[in-house]
Every structure is written in structure tokens, then in C-alpha cells.
Amino acid sequence: DYIKQKLIDVAIPKANKVRELVKEHGDKVIQEVTMGQVLTGMKGVVGLMTCTSKLDPEEGIRFRGYSIPELKEKLPKMHDDGEPLPEGVFYLMLTGEIPSDDDVKYISEQWALRAQGIPTHVYDVIEALPKDAHPMIQFNTAILAMSTESQFRKAYLVGMDKKDYWDPTYEGVMDLIARLPIIAAYIYRRVFHQGRHIQADPSLDWAGNLAHMMGHDSEELRRLMRLYMLIHSDHEGGNVSAHATHLVGSALSNPYYSFAAGMNGLAGPLHGMANQDVMHWLNKLKREIGSEDPSEEQIKAYAEDTIRKGRVIPGYGHAVLRKTDPRFQVQLDFANKYIPDAPYIKLVNRIYNVVPGVLTATGKVKNPWPNVDAISGSLLTSYGIAEYPIYTVLFGVSRALGVLTQLIWDRLYGLPIERPKSQNLQWFIDQVD
């Protein structure tokens, strides 16, 4: 595997640098932290080192320095006018370099190969769950069940030098990423298509295959799936799914345990489950107004009512972003290119015209603009994937690319167990007395 050798070459000087920073500059003060920051979710507190991507409040996400529009231009594609292959962003996050067509092809082939051989007990575990168990319950259970395959655990038991931990981690990560689309499609077909499963087509790319196994085979939908898998792949280190994966991984839990932890976080309504909740909000709006085509005035009144009832408007707001999420914008561009007249897209646009004003008027929402989840479900629905509970699973398949790449890097850097200090309420009171 030439990628492994490449990784060693890139990583050794960086790992040495990390050791040097700790040893020579460990006492350097880098930040002041306020009481408010600690008590409101540690926003802005630099407590993690993540190299796969970085989030700018105004500009949005950059993967190893490249914005989404830049990636659309630079990463290899299946078709010139199509979307970049997610294999490419994985390679970029892993090695720090823009891949060639051959690199991307190699990863596609590796994943197709590694996708084979999911043990039968994983399917048995899924089948043991009720069909109406939320797909995220089934997805996360399957991820844990797959951890019987962990190379890391086996190698650790045999006994291994710390500096080699990254190697079985890499193996586990590659296997896990390769297998997630099969698991996601299996759950989708089990729950929503009477268990009529569709075999993988090893000649297809990773995301195209996912669309195929879900039973949605149009070229346009494959393109949408490639885009979806690209843009959800990473969002810096402090978001719940990335942070949870990293935290659990810091105990040397294997990639399956670590990723399952991240996915349990993604299943929360303030994080990845928001994409499903947006659709519920939107359909309830239509039902309550009694129209398939609500006006801006009607949407405004409905949004104000949501706020009055003490609820959040899903798909809007962000803990870091302070502008329209470029991940929202790129999906809107896709919709405008292929399906500008789709009713759901029209509705998304109308909501976009109204909701930021409603949120701003509350005087407390720090970011009134749409995030990635404000449109993803409407796009998928417009293409016939109208089973909302699968949306967070799709988000999860994509998120594996970033958080698991970072897990390999955590091992390459030799990062230790994470153990921040906590204090009780009296301690905080004492700080101001």
C-alpha cells in the first residue's frame, strides 16, 4: 500500500515537531479562557489539534487549506461537469496533497476490495433490532458489531511499539470506511424497501455505489451523493461527532469504538439529526398552513411561532459559522443547476428569504444563517430519497472520512489520553467572590 509509505514520509517530521513543541514550549501561554466560554460549551477555547480541516466563521470550511469551491475545481472527478469524488478529499485530508486521478482510483479500488467480508453476525445484529428502530440505532449498533474485526485490538494484544499504533489504526479505518456504505444501504433497504437488498457494484466509485445499493441509480443522483459525501466529511475538530471520536480514540479505543461514539453524537437533533428535523419542520409548516406552496408571510408567522414555543428552527444557526454555510450554498447551486423548479427547492429558497430575519429579531441567535442541513433533505427528497430517517446515516457515512483520518493522525502524532480538568459549581462561584 503506497499510501502508507507516503504517510510515514509526511508524518515523521510533523510528529517530531509536535514532540518538540511539547518539550521546548510546553509552558507557553496561548490563550485566556473566560468563565462564559467554559459555561457555554467551550466555544472558541483552543483545546484540540486537528489538521484535516479548519473552520472560518465567515468563510466556512477549508480542507487542508482548500475551500469547497477550490475542491470542486481541483479534485479528480468522474465527469468533467460532475462533482469531485469523495475519495479525493479523503486522500487530501490524509496526506495533505491534492490527489492525482490514479490516487483516487487506487483508493476506490482499495475500498471496493475491503468492502467484502463483512461478517454475518453484523447483519444478524441489525436483523435482531426492530425494523422501526431509528436507522441511527441500527447504524451505530452495526458499527460496534463490526469491531470484532479490529486489527488494532489484535495487534495491541500481541504487543506493539507505541510508534506503530497508527498502522493497524489505518487498516481498521480503511476497512470501516469501505464497509459503511454497504451497512447504510442495507439498513435503508431493510427499513424502507421490504429488505430487497441490492448487491454492490465493485466497478463503481464509493459514493456512486452507495446510491446504487440504495436503489437510486440515475447519474444525477450519483453526482448528488458524491457531493453530499464530500461536503459532510469534516468540520474541524470541536464539533460533537469529531470531538467524540477523538476523545474516545484517545483512550486507544479501536476505530470502531471511536467512530461509534462520534455517531452517537451525530444522532442528536442539534447536530446531524437536524437534517431529518428540517423535513419535519417543513412538512408541519405545510400541513398547518394547509398549502403546498406557503407564502413568505405564512412562513414568517410559522417561524415566529416556533420561536415563541421555545423551540429551535432546524437547519439554521451554528456554533462557529457567522455567514451562510458554503455547504448550504453548494447544494443550492447543485439544485439550481439540475432541478431549479423542484417544489422543495422553491420552499427552501423562500424560507432562506425569511428565517434569518426572524432569528435576528430574537436578539440572541448569534448566527441567523442556514447551515448544511437546511437543504440536504430537500435535495434528497426531490431525487426520490424521501425517507427522512436515513439522512443522518448518510451524514455519518460521510463524516467517517474526516474524523477517522484525524484518528490516524492522532496516532501518528502520538497524542496522549485526553483529560481536561473539571470543577464544581462552588469553584466557579469562588472565582468571582
| Catalytic residue positions, numbered | 271, 318, 373
Least distance (Å) from ligand CMX to the CB of residue 187? Answer: 20
Is the alpha carbon torsion for 361, 367, 373, 375 positive or negative? Answer: positive
DSSP H stretches of helix in 115-254: 120-128, 135-145, 151-158, 166-192, 206-214, 219-231, 240-249
Task: Tell me if 200 contacts ligand CMX by CB under 6 A.
Answer: no
Q: Starting from the edge strand earliest in sequence, which strands make up the sheet with 60-63, in order?
A: 53-56, 60-63, 66-67
Task: Tell me if 312 contacts ligand CMX by CB under 6 A.
Answer: yes
| 76, 85 Cβ separation under 8 angstroms | yes
Least distance (Å) from ligand CMX to the CB of residue 309? Answer: 10
Alpha-carbon gap, residue 8 to 52, rounded angstroms: 16
Alpha-carbon gap, residue 396 to 143, rounded angstroms: 11
Task: Tell me if 367 contacts ligand CMX by CB under 6 A.
Answer: yes
Q: Which residue number has the CB closest to ligand CMX?
A: 317
Residues of this chain, 220-249, that bind ligand CMX according to CB under 6 A:
239
Least distance (Å) from ligand CMX to the CB of residue 41? Answer: 6
Task: Tell me if 371 contacts ligand CMX by CB under 6 A.
Answer: yes
Alpha-carbon gap, residue 31 to 8, rounded angstroms: 32
Secondary element (H or E) of residue 33: none
Alpha-carbon gap, residue 379 to 232, rounded angstroms: 14
Nearer to ligand CMX, 302 or 316 (CB): 316
Task: Tell me if 377 contacts ligand CMX by CB under 6 A.
Answer: no
| 15, 414 Cβ separation under 8 angstroms | yes
Stretch that binds ligand CMX, among 72-80, 167-175, 198-206, 313-321 (CB under 6 A): 313-321
Least distance (Å) from ligand CMX to the CB of residue 355? Answer: 8
Provide the mask over 327-366, with x wherever binding to ligand CMX is found by CB under 6 A and - wherever it is not.
--------------------------------x----xxx
Task: Tell me if 212 contacts ligand CMX by CB under 6 A.
Answer: no
Nearer to ligand CMX, 181 or 368 (CB): 368
Task: Tell me if 300 contacts ligand CMX by CB under 6 A.
Answer: no
The set of residues, in sequence order, having a beta carbon less than 8 Å from that of 282 and lying 6+ positions away, is 344, 347, 351, 378
Least distance (Å) from ligand CMX to the CB of residue 399? Answer: 9
Nearer to ligand CMX, 181 or 314 (CB): 314
Q: How far is the CA of 371 from the CAs of 271, 275, 348, 402, in angstroms?
A: 11, 10, 12, 18
| 407, 246 Cβ separation under 8 angstroms | yes
Residues of this chain, 255-294, that bind ligand CMX according to CB under 6 A:
270-272, 274
Task: Tell me if 318 contacts ligand CMX by CB under 6 A.
Answer: yes
Task: Tell me if 314 contacts ligand CMX by CB under 6 A.
Answer: yes
* 60-63 vs 53-56, strand pairing mode: antiparallel
| Binding-site size, ligand CMX (CB under 6 A) | 22
Locate the DSSP E strands across 254-402: none
Stretch that binds ligand CMX, among 63-71, 96-104, 212-220, 307-315 (CB under 6 A): 307-315
Least distance (Å) from ligand CMX to the CB of residue 271? Answer: 4
Nearer to ligand CMX, 207 or 372 (CB): 372
Task: Tell me if 135 contacts ligand CMX by CB under 6 A.
Answer: no
Q: How far is the CA of 300 from the CAs of 157, 342, 345, 352, in angstroms?
A: 59, 21, 17, 11
| 112, 207 Cβ separation under 8 angstroms | no
Least distance (Å) from ligand CMX to the CB of residue 261? Answer: 16
Report which of 394, 396, 278, 416 is spatially closest to residue 347, judged by C-alpha positions: 278
| 317, 43 Cβ separation under 8 angstroms | no
Chosen residue from 146, 319, 335, 354 binding ligand CMX by CB under 6 A: 319
> Which residues contact ligand CMX by CB under 6 A?
239, 270-272, 274, 307, 312-319, 359, 364-367, 371-373
